[in-house]
Amino acid sequence: MSKVVHISEAASLAVHSMALIASNEEMLNVTNIADLTSSSRNHLAKVMQILVKNNYLTSARGPKGGFVLKKAASTVTLLELYELMEGEIEKQHCGIHTGKCPFATCVFGNLANKFSEEFIKYLRTTNLSDIIRKVN
């Protein structure tokens, strides 16, 4: 099944993991987060490596180890996490990639572009601190 807006597992894990870490008083490790998100421990570990490498998290090893945010949750937008994992979001979504569409107006009503703009706006204006209030 295709999707108009694609959120990869890696981008989703990055956002969910950061929110879980921000909302927990105790450190969470890869196993804890994998259990909470029902995700692959190996895939999650790769995502966490990227977050550590890009200075969003610090990690501590050992039995009581885990991850800690390096930046305040109020300063980290969902857009920067999404784009860290996926790259910049494509804003033009015509299926004809030659740039030479034979129609004067978009046959899709320009809806894909509008969805993308709305998605980007939400990600840009939502910080981790906004979503950690929603964690169960």
The alpha carbon of residue 48 and the mean position of all alpha carbons in its chain are separated, in whole angstroms, by: 12
Query: Domain for residue 13, yes or no?
Result: yes
Query: Domain for residue 30, yes or no?
Result: yes
CATH code: domain of residue 55: 1.10.10.10
Q: To the nearest whole percent, how much of the chain has pLDDT over 70?
A: 90
Q: How far apart are CA 32 and CA 79, in angstroms?
A: 25
Query: Domain for residue 83, yes or no?
Result: yes
Query: Domain for residue 96, yes or no?
Result: no
Query: Domain for residue 95, yes or no?
Result: no
pLDDT number for residue 79: 97
- Tens of pLDDT, residue by residue over 99-123, are 678 888 888 888 888 888 999 999 9
Q: What is the CA radius of gyration of the chain?
A: 18
Query: Domain for residue 112, yes or no?
Result: no
pLDDT number for residue 81: 97
Query: Domain for residue 107, yes or no?
Result: no
pLDDT number for residue 131: 92
The boundaries of the domain holding residue 45 are 9-88+127-132
- pTM for the whole thing? 0.87
When pLDDT is cut at 50, 70 and 90, the band that residue 90 belongs to is confident
CA nearest neighbour of 56 among 40, 37, 73: 73
Number of domains in the chain: 1
Please identify which residue in the block is written with the tokens 């956002």.
Answer: 15
Q: Tell me which DSSP letter residue 73 carries.
A: G
Query: Domain for residue 119, yes or no?
Result: no
For the segment 79-102, the average pLDDT, to the nearest whole number, is 82
Q: Is residue 67 within a helix (H) or strand (E), and if so which, with residue range?
A: strand 66-69
pLDDT(82) > 90: yes
